[in-house]
Amino acid sequence: MLEVLRQDYILTARAKGLPARVVIFRHALRNALMPVITILGLSVPGLIGGSVIIESIFALPGLGQLFYQAVMSRDYPLIMGSLVLGAVLTLVGNLLADVGYGLADPRIRNSGRGGGES
C-alpha cells in the first residue's frame, strides 16, 4: 500500500482536490489489492497440502487425514475422490481470484469486450 501511495496517479488525484478518503479507498486500495488477491487465490492448493501434513502430525480428523489413510490402505476410489475434490477447490480458488480481479480493477472487467484490440 505504501508503494502504491507513492505513485504519480495518487499525487495527481490529490492535486485535483479529491478527499483523502476517496484517494485511498478508490484509487490506492484497489491497486494495492491485486497482489493480495493473487496470493489468496493461489494459496488454496497449499492449504490442501498443508492439511494433510498438519492432520497427520497432530492426529486430527479431517480430509487430510482421510486422504493419508486412503493412500496407506490403497483405497483408490477414495484417493481419486480426494484428488478430484482438491482439483475442484483449486479451480474455485482461481475463479474467485479472477472475479476479485474484475471487482478490483475495471480495466480487467472491460478487457473481454470490444473487438480485436491487441
> How many angstroms separate the Cα of 53 from the Cα of each of 5, 43, 57?
40, 15, 6
3-state secondary structure (DSSP) of residue 60:
coil
pTM over 0.85: no
Number of neighbours of residue 48 by Cβ within 10 angstroms: 20
C-alpha span between 98 and 60 (Å, rounded): 33
pLDDT tens, position by position, 73-113: 999 999 999 899 888 888 988 898 888 888 887 777 776 66
**DSSP string for 49-62:** HHHHHHHHHHT--S
Record the cell numbers describing residue 85, joined without a space.
475434490
Q: Tens of pLDDT along 6-64?
A: 888 888 888 888 888 888 888 788 888 888 888 888 887 788 778 888 888 888 888 88
**In this structure, what C-alpha cell is assigned to residue 82?**
480426494
